[in-house]
Structure 1
């Protein structure tokens, strides 16, 4: 194996645009004249102009150096302007790696809500570390996130210019159109370069079901997201550079189809969820069960990261508040007390676990409810902990989305952690 990991991805490019999936890494690929796209962890697009480079996104600190090395094999221009599509750490924290020695500080442009995002990160670093440990590491205390994430309140280069709705920039005679669009975040920007017909979507396109339902993160906005995608489709873009995955190069029909398909997918989820809410405002879990989820065979709408059911729940959260709709859950008894009572009625925590294991082959969701109660009723019982961990390990292996897989893996790890600490 090559000892230089950068050389393994720098020459990669999607052979077929439909193979440019979420986990694709590659680049720099020349996607238009004097324009390059690379993706390692997340996508970065570089535009060569007379005044220097314009970067749309900058990657994460962990991977930006390898992408910058690849880009510097193509151009030695300083970075004039960086545009952050949103404030997530895999898009707005890697700028240092792209700067050339001795260059002037670059301009950094972002939507105005990004300042509040960074302030929120600074106020809740341990919470952020834990939820990202679960989401990406499959446990509550993955050292990679507990160590790194705690430093990510603010990026090294904060925005120097904020805009509200839209902004036109001219850098070295090249025009860039910036448009705000609430979607995965409330501070999101999509960027279009009309001269080169290059569209940079950030995470509004990720080669998978849109991340509009993340179970642990802040509110998402699929209705506004869909509007933004339809606006992008009207630009006539020939090339699409996504937030994750590979680019679509010089194929305006495919670009338009991806944008319109994704918009329609989100609109269907929102409309179907609201229709059920309007039918008597049933308890939230019943809404989720009653919404018929849209399906698609398109490679850009597969549940590899997020999934449609989670988007339904995000719509409910926005329109329905925090209460589940179950009367007992308005001001509930402590879970441990409920678990102890159910265990007593069932013949003990062991009986709950035995029944959970029996149910698992044909009703895994119900099995997991019983497993939770068993563990909460007997948190120090090694046999219960091991049984629950095995159940959640099995459930995680059955899932397709990264989020569901890792959150169930985290549940398994948490059960065993109780065992090791007892």
Structure 2
């Protein structure tokens, strides 16, 4: 919430029920909080809690890019119908994350003949969501019974592609370009006739979510390349999935290039240190963005830091070992915690010291809390 809900309104209900298409308080929040903003001729950004959907009207019907979280489906179709009564011709999913792909059911109920297009990697992604429902519920802090349990719980694309797909809808060209970024099924949509680009999560208006410790692999270097590729198209309208749109081409280019430079800087620092054989924790501690990038308004730290992004690169290029010798085959945490507590004079003494340290060094105090907990999780203090 402090970070701004990914650039939009925040709903605690929706945040805790992102898969919950039958959770009425979340549905009510989405309807109440969703707004529609015109982004150009027959173009709108639909701002839902946490995430946006993009709506483009053509002579052949509507094109919808991304469909929000599951509870937002009814709000999205209501917002669409507030500006156009044309049938939905095409639904494009920029990637399979829950906040971009789970409101699709409401649009299909409205326009059952709409084609649904996504990159081919969304299929194994959705299959993993079914396979790992309990794990996802844990890491995403969601009710397990709301996670998809079978294929019938998801709306699957009617058409997929591998690299690039060019569509003509209502006499207009839509270019869907796959590039790895936040996911391996990520794509952006370029509409050359309107000089408009829908970027999915490639641009978020802050240092992007590319170093998330609870998520599967994300692709820092490819992300940077994509930002430069999109900047070279010279778009004049930015249609983002998070935050506000931009209609000044110069600002769009600057923001895209600045993000590319930031990701390139983190990548170069990390890889250079890896090649020098520097221990991983020291690599992470050393990562800093150049001052002119760190202070840029579109690179604010709201969700992950430059150090977190370095961790994702280390995950991509190296194994699970952290370079600490004893962590190759470590003693169980309970044994370590008990030994440290004993050295401290008992768990009570460890807890007293942790409460003192937390006033000045919360990170170190958190280690102490872990040691005490692992030593005896039933201890009342």
TM-score, structure 1 normalization: 0.79
Gap change, CA 1:112 and 1:100, over 3 Å in 2: closer
In the alignment, structure 1 residue 81 sits paired with structure 2 residue 66 = no
Give the alignment of 1:267-286 within 5 angstroms: 267-282=264-279, 284-286=280-282
Residue 378 in 1 paired to residue 363 in 2?
A: no
> What count of residue pairs does the alignment treat as equivalent?
352
Contiguous gaps of at least 5 residues in structure 1: 1-18, 134-143, 384-422
Q: Is the 8 A contact 2:54 2:198 kept in 1?
A: yes
> 1:26 touches 1:246 (CA, 8 Å); kept in 2?
no
1:22–1:321: structure 2 CA closer, same or farther, 3 Å change rule?
same
- Give 1:166's match in structure 2, choosing from 160, 164, 167: 164
Pairwise CA distance, 1:195: 0.8
Q: Does the 8 Å CA contact 1:118/1:154 hold for their aligned counterparts?
A: no
* Aligned position for 2:345: 347
Secondary structure of 2:265's counterpart equals: helix
> 1:234-253 deviations in whole A, cap 9, x for unaligned?
111111111211211x2111
Match of 2:329 in 1: 331
Residue 420 (structure 1) aligns with: none
Counterpart among 30, 35, 39 of residue 38 in structure 2: 30
Q: Which residue of 2 aligns with 1:121?
A: 129
Q: Separation in 2 of the partners of 1:152 and 1:209?
A: 35
Taking the aligned partners of 2:272 and 2:260, their CA distance within structure 1 comes to 18
Distance 1:71 1:152, change over 3 A: farther
How far 1:203 moved relative to its partner? 0.8
1:220 matched to 2:218 = yes
Q: Which one has more relative contact order, counting CA pairs under 8 Å at least 6 apart?
A: 1
The CA deviation at 1:113 is: 0.9
Larger mean CA deviation between 61-70 and 287-296 belongs to: 287-296
Q: Distance in 1 between matches of 2:379 and 2:70?
A: 42
Matched, 1:48 2:46: no
Indicate conservation of the 8 Å contact 1:132/1:145, yes or no: no
For structure 2, the 5+ residue unaligned runs are 10-32
| Inter-partner Cα distance in structure 1 for 2:143 and 2:268 | 37
Aligned position for 2:101: 92
Contact 1:84-1:110 at 8 Å conserved across structures:
yes
- Correspondence for 1:201 among 188, 199, 202: 199
State TM-score, norm by structure 2: 0.87
Q: How does 1:18-417 map to 2 (within 5 A)?
A: 22-23=7-8, 27-40=35-48, 41-99=50-108, 101=110, 103-133=111-141, 145-150=143-148, 156-248=154-246, 250-282=247-279, 284-294=280-290, 296-383=294-381
Match of 1:412 in 2: none
SS in 2 for 1:209: coil
